[in-house]
A and B are shown apart, each in its own frame.
Chain A
């Protein structure tokens, strides 16, 4: 089992054979697909394809259960803000009324379109984070020649986030060991107390940052000057070969994207008019 950013992936997973660049490319390009697709059924298709890819990569799918309540509440919020809170629009078709507020067909449809756009984008992000270790992200960035300082700052942020999370757990325990409990207290109290966590976390970070800087200097890292202009050998890249399968996958992803654009703009596909939702549910027949 190897720990990725969002979970665990077993050693036998096929995802390790793929160059991190391809994973990053997938994330960036496939996240763009829903922007050009209005028809909800196509976005849902992308969503399910990504889920299947996650299963093939042997990501621990039971962890996905955590996201279900999030997905449901998000959908509910979108629906409510588009419909009940969506204002009065006499030009729209009024389907029915709820609490005296009119529910318009167009609004419901738009809510569904937005929701189905967000789902695959989030799924793609979750897929990426569940199958990537910190090192993969850094390798992906270096392989597209992002400047070293940027990738390093990013890596340090990841490292610090890890340290802060560990500290957070210990701080929580230390609070409990001093009799702190939120049981039976008001929400305001709880929020205020959570802010108090910041104090020890901040203190710890301050102390560490001095040592961290010293450690960087001791490793010969120069921020400015002659020493900073050294040509870096990116040793970590020697572990990752960009192979034929990687080239094929990148081409396929790119090809799908181009095809998408062509069909969208040249043939008007993936639009709302031809979508099943309009065909099946539109009151304007």
Chain B
């Protein structure tokens, strides 16, 4: 098998104009159809890495290769057709005064014929579950959840294979978080997009991510399935993150035999039933 991964990051170093090193030698491979969480403290380099992946930032050293294209030699326009990035605050990316034009903004920028633009807008709106009735509404007045969906639809309209979503559940309550995560999961499982979520929400990571990449001070500290990453307290300590509360309890109950990779209350209960003295 010689299929190269869709994204290859090789020895990536990125320095900001004022000299601070945000990324200090990143090596990463991302394939198609992955569901990945990028976690780490503020300042660990998660956002910087994401912006290197979609071409907004060019590497200071090292290479980022997406779909065979090296980001140094490729225009941002070509890069964003392959890697979409949804900003944390939908207000930063509302450029039009109605939702339809907003979703059409991307396809129009890449100069698609109007027929295809219409097709893509309809498709994207349908995938995010945006009712046609909202097409003429001004995005500013919609609820945060709807604005987020419009933002995601407008990225989907460019049909990138990889979608990076920055903090999808921050500020959302439980139902809203589940809704947006289920939707992203659907994008991943039914439509084959690679989804990378940047988040601090450990329970969400535990519940939805199939792969966790933990960053700290510009390096990757761990890259594995969630149960493996969360069962290594020393690795997590370096990222200054805490695993979900229930996982912490499992860690404390190690001597009782509890699996250290417990991620949910359900799993904890299963372990209890298994270990319970009779």
> Across the A-B interface, how many residue pairs have beta carbons closer than 8 Å?
66
Whether B110 lies near A179 (C-beta < 8 A) is yes
CA distance A183 to B92 in the complex (A): 22
Whether A203 lies near B94 (C-beta < 8 A) is yes
Whether A170 lies near B81 (C-beta < 8 A) is no
Min CB distance A257 to B, Å, is 38
Whether B92 lies near A174 (C-beta < 8 A) is yes
Interface size on A, residues (CB 8 A): 19
**Nearest B residue to A208 by beta-carbon distance?**
B91
**Nearest B residue to A175 by beta-carbon distance?**
B95
A176-B56, A203-B140 known; A181 and B94 CB under 8 Å?
A: no
CA distance A183 to B94 in the complex (A): 22
Point out the residues of chain B lying under 8 angstroms from A174, CB to CB: 87, 92-93
CA distance A196 to B109 in the complex (A): 13
**Nearest B residue to A180 by beta-carbon distance?**
B109
B105, CB-defined interface residue at 8 Å: yes
Whether A178 lies near B109 (C-beta < 8 A) is yes
A200, CB-defined interface residue at 8 Å: yes
CA distance A102 to B211 in the complex (A): 76
**Nearest A residue to B107 by beta-carbon distance?**
A179
Contact with A along B130-168 (1 / 0, CB 8 A): 000000000010000000000000110010000000000
Contact with B along A18-37 (1 / 0, CB 8 A): 00000000000000000000
A176-B76, A178-B105, A199-B97 known; A170 and B110 CB under 8 Å?
A: no
Point out the residues of chain A lying under 8 angstroms from B80, CB to CB: 176-179
Whether B87 lies near A170 (C-beta < 8 A) is yes
A110, CB-defined interface residue at 8 Å: no
B194, CB-defined interface residue at 8 Å: no
Min CB distance B78 to A, Å, is 9
B100, CB-defined interface residue at 8 Å: no
Min CB distance B243 to A, Å, is 31
Min CB distance A89 to B, Å, is 50
Whether A199 lies near B94 (C-beta < 8 A) is yes
A173, CB-defined interface residue at 8 Å: yes
CA distance A179 to B158 in the complex (A): 8
From the candidates A173, A179, A183, name the one contacting B106 in the complex (CB within 8 A).
A179
B14, CB-defined interface residue at 8 Å: no
Whether B95 lies near A200 (C-beta < 8 A) is yes
B26-80: which residues lie under 8 A (CB-CB) from chain A? 51, 54, 56, 75-77, 80
A252, CB-defined interface residue at 8 Å: no
CA distance A167 to B106 in the complex (A): 20
CA distance A170 to B47 in the complex (A): 12
A177-B84, A181-B75 known; A171 and B106 CB under 8 Å?
A: no
Interface of A is mostly: helix
Point out the residues of chain B lying under 8 angstroms from A177, CB to CB: 54, 56, 80, 84-85, 87, 93, 155
Min CB distance B15 to A, Å, is 16
CA distance A170 to B51 in the complex (A): 11
CA distance A73 to B109 in the complex (A): 34
Whether B155 lies near A181 (C-beta < 8 A) is no
Whether A181 lies near B91 (C-beta < 8 A) is no
CA distance A183 to B77 in the complex (A): 10
Min CB distance B244 to A, Å, is 30
From the candidates B56, B89, B154, B155, name the one contacting A173 in the complex (CB within 8 A).
B56
A207, CB-defined interface residue at 8 Å: yes
Whether A203 lies near B109 (C-beta < 8 A) is no
CA distance A178 to B110 in the complex (A): 9
Min CB distance B154 to A, Å, is 6
A176-B80, A179-B77 known; A200 and B94 CB under 8 Å?
A: yes
CA distance A32 to B91 in the complex (A): 45
Contact with A along B99-112 (1 / 0, CB 8 A): 00000011001100
A181-B76, A199-B95 known; A173 and B51 CB under 8 Å?
A: yes
Min CB distance B155 to A, Å, is 7
Point out the residues of chain B lying under 8 angstroms from A171, CB to CB: 92-93
CA distance A149 to B85 in the complex (A): 42
Whether A179 lies near B109 (C-beta < 8 A) is yes
A85, CB-defined interface residue at 8 Å: no
Min CB distance B68 to A, Å, is 19
Q: Which 10 A-B pairs have the closest CB atoms?
A: A179-B109, A174-B93, A178-B106, A179-B110, A177-B85, A180-B109, A170-B92, A174-B92, A203-B91, A176-B76
- Please name 20 pairs of A and B residues whose Cβ atoms are closer than 8 Å in the assembled complex, sorted by A: A171-B92, A173-B51, A173-B56, A174-B93, A176-B56, A177-B54, A177-B155, A178-B95, A178-B106, A178-B109, A178-B154, A178-B158, A179-B76, A179-B81, A179-B109, A199-B96, A200-B92, A200-B95, A204-B92, A207-B91
Given contacts A176-B80, A179-B109, 12 further A-B contacts (CB under 8 A): A171-B93, A173-B56, A175-B93, A176-B56, A177-B85, A178-B154, A179-B76, A179-B106, A179-B110, A196-B95, A199-B96, A204-B91
Residues of A within 8 A of B (CB): 167, 170-171, 173-181, 183, 196, 199-200, 203-204, 207
Residues of B within 8 A of A (CB): 51, 54, 56, 75-77, 80-81, 84-85, 87, 89, 91-97, 105-106, 109-110, 140, 154-155, 158
